[in-house]
Structure 1
Amino acid sequence: MHPEPLLPSSGRRVFVALGDSFTEGVGDRDERLPNGVRGWADRVAERLAKAQPGWRYANLAIRSKRLRHIVNEQLEPALRMRPTLVTLYAGGNDILDLTTDMPALMADYEKLVAQLAETGATVVLFTGFDIKVSALLEPLKKRNTYYNQQVRAIAEKYGAVLVDYWCLDAFHDRRMWDSDRLHMSKAGHKYLAGQVLDQLGVPHKITLKDWEPPARHSLREWERQQRRWIRDWVLPLFGRKLRGVTLGDALGPRWPDPVKVPRKGGLKKLAGASNGPRES
Structure 2
Amino acid sequence: MQPGRFVALGDSFTEGVGDPNLHYPNGFRGWADRMARQLGRADRRWEYANFAIRSKVLDQIVEDQFDDALALAPTHISFYAGGNDLLSLRSDLEALMGRYEEALTRLTESGAHVLVFTAFDMRTTALLEPLRRRVLTFNDAVRDLASTHGATLLDHSLMREYDDRRLWAPDKIHMNRLGHKRMAAFVLRELGVPHTLKVRELDEWEPRGWRRAVRDEGRFLRTEVAPLVRRRLTGRSEGDHALPKWPEPIRPADGMKRLARERALARTELETSGRAGGIRRR
Q: Fold conserved (TM > 0.5)?
A: yes
Q: Which residue does the alignment assign to 2:71?
A: 80
Matched AA of 1:267: M
**Contact preservation (8 Å) 1:31, 1:277:** no
CA distance in 1, matches of 2:190, 2:71: 26
State the aligned residue count: 267
CA distance in 1, matches of 2:73, 2:234: 38
Q: Deviations over 1:180-223 (max 9, x none)?
A: 11100100000010100011110113354322222333333222
Partner SS, residue 77 of structure 2: strand
**Worse overlay, 142-151 or 117-126:** 142-151
Q: Deviations over 1:6-34 (max 9, x none)?
A: x4x26xx2111000000000000101111
Matched AA of 1:71: V
Partner SS, residue 264 of structure 2: coil
Q: Deviations over 1:30-88 (max 9, x none)?
A: 01111110000001111111112211111101001000001110111111111110000
Q: Which residue does the alignment assign to 1:272?
A: 261
Q: Which residue does the alignment assign to 2:11?
A: 20
Structure 2: unaligned runs, 5 residues or longer: 268-282
CA distance in 1, matches of 2:223, 2:251: 38
- Aligned residue runs from structure 1 range 251-266, under 5 A: 251-262=242-253, 266=255
**Contact preservation (8 Å) 1:130, 1:141:** yes
Q: Which residue does the alignment assign to 1:128?
A: 119
**Worse overlay, 160-169 or 141-150:** 141-150
Tell me the percent identity.
45
2:179 is aligned, of 188, 208, 211, to 188
Task: State the shift of 1:163 in Å.
Answer: 0.6
CA distance in 1, matches of 2:117, 2:29: 19
Q: Which residue does the alignment assign to 2:94?
A: 103
Coordinate RMSD, CA, aligned: 1.7
In structure 2, relative to structure 1, the CA distance for the partners of 1:32 and 1:126 (3 Å cut) is same
**Contact preservation (8 Å) 1:27, 1:178:** yes
**Contact preservation (8 Å) 1:46, 1:261:** yes
In structure 2, relative to structure 1, the CA distance for the partners of 1:274 and 1:74 (3 Å cut) is closer
Partner SS, residue 44 of structure 1: helix
CA distance in 2, matches of 1:103, 1:242: 23
Q: Which residue does the alignment assign to 2:278?
A: none
Task: State the shift of 1:100 in Å.
Answer: 1.3
Q: Which has the larger radius of gyration?
A: 2
**Contact preservation (8 Å) 1:125, 1:160:** yes
Q: Which residue does the alignment assign to 2:212?
A: 221
Partner SS, residue 148 of structure 2: helix
**Structure with greater contact order relative to length (CA < 8 Å, sep ≥ 6):** 1
Task: State the shift of 1:99 in Å.
Answer: 1.1
Partner SS, residue 256 of structure 1: strand
**Worse overlay, 45-54 or 186-195:** 45-54
Q: Which residue does the alignment assign to 1:33?
A: 24
**Worse overlay, 220-229 or 166-175:** 220-229
**Contact preservation (8 Å) 2:44, 2:251:** no
Partner SS, residue 64 of structure 1: coil
Q: Which residue does the alignment assign to 1:68?
A: 59
CA distance in 2, matches of 1:274, 1:128: 32
CA distance in 1, matches of 2:199, 2:130: 31
Partner SS, residue 120 of structure 2: coil
Partner SS, residue 123 of structure 1: strand
**Contact preservation (8 Å) 1:23, 1:40:** yes
Q: Which residue does the alignment assign to 1:3?
A: none
In structure 2, relative to structure 1, the CA distance for the partners of 1:85 and 1:235 (3 Å cut) is same
In structure 2, relative to structure 1, the CA distance for the partners of 1:50 and 1:148 (3 Å cut) is same
Matched AA of 1:190: K
Q: Which residue does the alignment assign to 1:203?
A: 194
**Contact preservation (8 Å) 1:27, 1:186:** yes
Q: Which residue does the alignment assign to 2:149?
A: 158
CA distance in 1, matches of 2:221, 2:119: 23
- Aligned residue runs from structure 1 range 221-260, under 5 A: 221-260=212-251
CA distance in 2, matches of 1:166, 1:207: 22
